[in-house]
Each structure stands twice: as C-alpha cells, then as structure tokens.
Structure 1
C-alpha cells in the first residue's frame, strides 16, 4: 500500500498549503481548517525579526484591532497563535484577488467605482468609530471576495511610516508613496483618520482614471506634487466625481472633507445602502452557527481565555499589558474583576434589566443588550464579554455594536460604570485598584 505523504499541520488544527505572498517579516499561506474544511489565510511572522526591528507594537496592534473590528468589508481575523519562534495570524481567505488587478486592465465604470468606494468609506468609517485608523491604505490591501465585495486587509501588520527609514518616507514595504497623505510624508505627526481619507481620495481617482493622480519618473518631483495636491482630471470624469475628489485630495488635513461630509455628498449617496451598523455582529444574534468561535479564545464550558495576554507576554517578558488596550481605546472600556464569570454574567443581565435594555443574547460569556429608545443612529446595541485571564481574574470588555458613539460613551460613563463598581477590581487605564 502506498504511503500517504505527511501533511504539514500546525497546532493540530490547520493544514498548511501554498505560499500566497511574503514580506520582510512574514509569509502568508493558504491553509485548511481540519475541523470545518474551511479555507483560511495564515500569516506566519518570525518573532526574532519582529523583536529585532522593534515592531512588537505592530503585533500588539493587530491583536487589539482583531477584537475591535468586525465589518463585512474588512478581512476577518479569526485567531492568533504562537510558538517560541513564530506567530500565526489566522485570517479569512479572500480569493477574489486585489481590486487593483481590475484597474490594471483599465478604468472602471463610474457606477462600479462608486460601489467599491462606498464599501471602502463604510468600512473606514466603522474602523474610525472604534478608534482604529488603517494608515496604510494601498492597492495591496484592497481585496475582493467571491461576490465582488471589497475587503480591507492588514491593519496592524503592515509597515507604518514611523517604523521605516529615517527620512520618514514610505519605501517598498509600504508600496508607492503616491497613496500616502502629504502630512505623513512630511513626518511631522499626523492624524491617522485624516490620512486615511486622503488615501481614499487617491484610490477613488485611480478607480475612475485607471492611473495615479500623482506620477513622475523623478520621485522627488512626485513628492512635490503630493505636497501641493497638484493633479489634473481626465476629461471623462463627471463633474460630481471631480468635485468630491477635489475635497478629498486637499493638502491641508484640517481642510480635508470628513467621512460625515463624504456621506452627505449626492454622488456618494446614489444607491448607497449602509451595512446595518456592524452587521456581522448583528447577524450572529440570529443563528449561533454563524458565530465563528475560536477554540483558543472561547469554549462552551468556561469563559474564553484571553490568550492575547499569554501571546504578548511570550514576546517580551515584563511587557506592560495595559497598553494592549489603551493604544486604541479610551481607558475604561474594560475592567478586571475577582468575581467568577457566572457572577459577572448575572450582574450584567441584572444591569440590562435595570436600565430597560433588552437582552438580545446571553450565552458563552457574552451579553448583548439593546436600548429601548431610538438614538441619533438608531437603537444602541452594547456587547459585554467576559474573558478569563487567570483562575481568579476575569476581564470584562464593553463595546458598541451599533448606535451613536457619543450616546454610547455617555451611557457607559453615566450608567454602566457606577452600576458595576461593586464587582470591579480595576478599570483599565486607572492606577487606583478597588478593594475586593
């Protein structure tokens, strides 16, 4: 009988396949989930290289963003695992290729370009509402799924300008500087959200034109054009699209249009249907089997173990874990407790009833509660999750799934925090530790 070839598997969970791409610190492979047969992409990062280059913060950002960003137009990161030598980031496999492979064949029709731009802005708006800026929007990071829908990838693992050469310019690791906002190139400090909007403007131009707005054989001349927002429109651009791009590609970030402004532009609004505020999270209320649970993060018999703590600790002993959350969130979005997970769950359910919030889901150490009243962006939907950090320590994390961000912050500060003070050991980001 012929011997079967040995399968290359990791953690007994994934069968590794062909190489999809590689960068300075990581390689991305196609893989198959042995339990579900689902295709995934796995980014394999060399720890030694990451530590040597001082890029631990970027890995840290990826884990933090993994818990913050769930949107139909963002590549889903399913879990993070690590050995002593390598880090494995398991991601949704998007097999439609890069959006810009389409543009390489020529400009897109205005309606098609608008659809992709709407999906891009919708996803970036969501990320910004969660305190996350991409800061590296470029062709390689815009993928298409089977249904021709846009998916943004690489939030924390892509190279960032502050980690590159001393001249502050983006080099090969970040692709062409033609997509990067002038304030980022100047390396004088920048607002990541405003820089994202500039990049979206360049992307929209390219979709409609089939080429870049800022081009020159001489790199320094190209930078000069970027700094001055010096570009011209091809004759086939419609008046409305030119008007919008002229507001996106503004050299002064303070005068650049905001995402809220973009969403009020008639050209943008045409045929736009906003995904129900964060529909991936909303959808999984209906059917449990739609929730892609990760074994290392969640199990039926115990609260999920926050393996990101173990992961970060393994990368750098004595690492301050608090910054894992503080970099991307307002302090106080989570707290530690010495109470049992079941006690915390009971307290959360009682809190929802007391505040007249409807419990949409309460299982697997997660409570979803929805407000009764209509706010500025519909009803507030709040998610509370309980994670086990150690046998006698739990982390409780609150997040807004839908509704207005300011209304959520007010609700969190004025209602949630005071109501839970008796089970709180420490609010994240505060030095004061309550007696318990």
Structure 2
C-alpha cells in the first residue's frame, strides 16, 4: 500500500456510477416494456439475461412452499441457528428505533401532533444468480417489519435451474416472507414499481444491485420511494501506535475484496505502524481467494496516510466521511465525540467491520461516497411516513385568524385569508 504524508486533499470519493448512455437507454426500454407488457416482459427479460425460462402456466415467478421446504432440507441446522441469532440481534437493535405518534394540547384547546404510519408495501431486492446474500435480507426486511409494514415482497434473480439459493430462501422464510419472486435486474424493479398481473406494486424499493438495478431505481423514483443509490464499499481506519497491524490489514482487505472500486484507507500518526500494515497487506493478499479484486482495490483506491498529530488525523477522517470507520487507538471512546461523519463507527480492536455486516445488530446498509456527511444508515424510520395533526380550537382561531389572514395577503393569496376570516363571521339566520 502507498504510504502518503497527510495533506488537506485526502478524499478518495469516486463519482457514483451513472452508467453509460447505452446502459441508461437499455434500462429505460426495459422499464417501459415491463410497465406496458407486465409478466410477459418480465419472463422475456429473465430468459434473455438470466437464461431461465419461467413457465407462465405454472406461475413460476412465485416461489412455492415446496421450494422453501427443499431449501430447508439442504441447509444445515448450524446455518439456520446462526441466521436466527443474527436476526434476533438485528431485531433487538432496530426495535429501539421505533418512533411513536404524539399529541400535545395547548391551554386554548388546540391539539397538535404527529402521526407515524408504516408504509403499506415494500419491495426488497436481493442480488442472486451465482451469489447469495442472506445478510441483505436480514438488514432490509427486519427494520420494515419492526416499522409495521404489512406486505414485504422479495425479488431475486434465479439460478440456472430456475430456483433461488437455499440460504436466501431459508433466511426469507425464517423472517416470515412468503411472497418471493424469481426475478431480478431492471425488470424486477419495474415490476415492483408499476405492478404486473402477478406482482402487485409496492410503495418503496430497497436493496443493492448492479448498475442496471441502480439505474432502474433512479428511473422509477417518484412513482415509488427508494433507499439510496450506493457506491462501492469503503473503510477508513484511524489508528495510533497501540493498534495491531495484522488486524488493520485484515480489516482493510475485508472491504477491498468487495470490488475493484472499493476504498480501503488507514490514517495513522505512527510511521512504524504504517510500514507494518503495508507489509501485512501484501502478505495477507497472497492467500486471499479474491486476491485479484482486492489487489486492484488496494492499488487504485487504497492508501496509508501519515498524520503529524491525532487532531490532524481526526480532521482527515471527518473529511473522508467513510461508510465504515474503525477507531483503533488507545482510548477510542475519548475520540468518539470528535467523529462527525461516518456511516458506522467501530470502536476498539475487537470490533472488526464484519461484526457489523452480519451479527451485531446495527444495519449494514450505509451511506457511501462521502454522503455520511448528510445521510444515515437504513433505519426503521425509512419504512414509515409522518402526518401532521392540527385541531384548532374556536378560541385559537378567534385569536389568530387576523394574523393568519395578514400573512396570506403578504403572499398575495386572498382566498387563503378569506378562508380563516369566514370563521369570524356570525352565522346567518335562515
């Protein structure tokens, strides 16, 4: 890894991939065709892109109970137990995020408040095909369930044998999700947004995907809500001389193996540590199954920055606003109040980033590409909406109508003014 003296220009933000013109045009065509032709278009694109022919006579888009039973039969009890424990941890954490509706009554009898309502229906996109991401299911479904969403739909691209991965199906079933469709890509996003004969539309679409999924989410935004358009994964580590270089190298590589565009950055005040980490990264890379991917990430978007002081290092960390931040210093809790921008903050040498990815409880759907400056992890709140409650008393309208009317006339809205002044008129005798 490159060891670089810290300068003001530390950011390694990359432009979020907006796709090529050809990709955007292709996605637009897919979305509009699914909107027009529904299930037939979904099956056509599933055959074209995934090489899977889904039989319309048996409605193979929908996962059957038989398929779920088969998935359980092919999944070990140990795996199921791990999924259940992880789910319990994630549910416990998110249960603490629930917001309640509230009302307040003023002395004049006016009642004001806020009503919190869960969304009616949410679609969860789970990447599939050759890969399996049960953690995506846990992190997206559980906060929606805690929020009170009644209909949660899952879509995922099928494998070549027209089934979904066993662990994916088991995880969904463990959470009680039974409306699962074997469809992925832009066609799945379009189906969720606009609906087909088989797939009823939803109100929000969440979950990661490739560039075609991301572009489709952008195109349907407005018809439905979406979670975010995430960039490549990233980790920043703040460390002093007390940190273990082997741990740091392993954690940097835990993100580098995701994608050649992933970013892995160490900011430290100790040159000896920096050199040891660089050596460890080189050695650990040699035995990594995804060595080629991780090497490209480290070479292009990895760096070790040397800071002259801890305050300077902290400033750099805040400028990075990383998706994942590990604080590996003598007293990480003393540093925490000074951290302003990070998606998730891991304190101490035992808090390796994968702990948060899978098991601890906080959500692993996090802001990337510096957007932690103004955005947050996926939460229960993302699956709710809020309505303001206003119940004005007669006393309050009499006291304030003239002021409200005056404000309306400041904006040239006479009908607004007259609407409140009507309340001051004496009722006409018939």
TM tier, shorter chain? under 0.3
Q: Provide TM-score, normalisation by structure 2.
A: 0.27
Which has a greater percent of strand?
1
Q: Provide TM-score, normalisation by structure 1.
A: 0.27
Which has a greater percent of helix?
2
Select the structure with the greater relative contact order (CA < 8 A; seq sep ≥ 6). Answer: 2
Larger Rg: 2
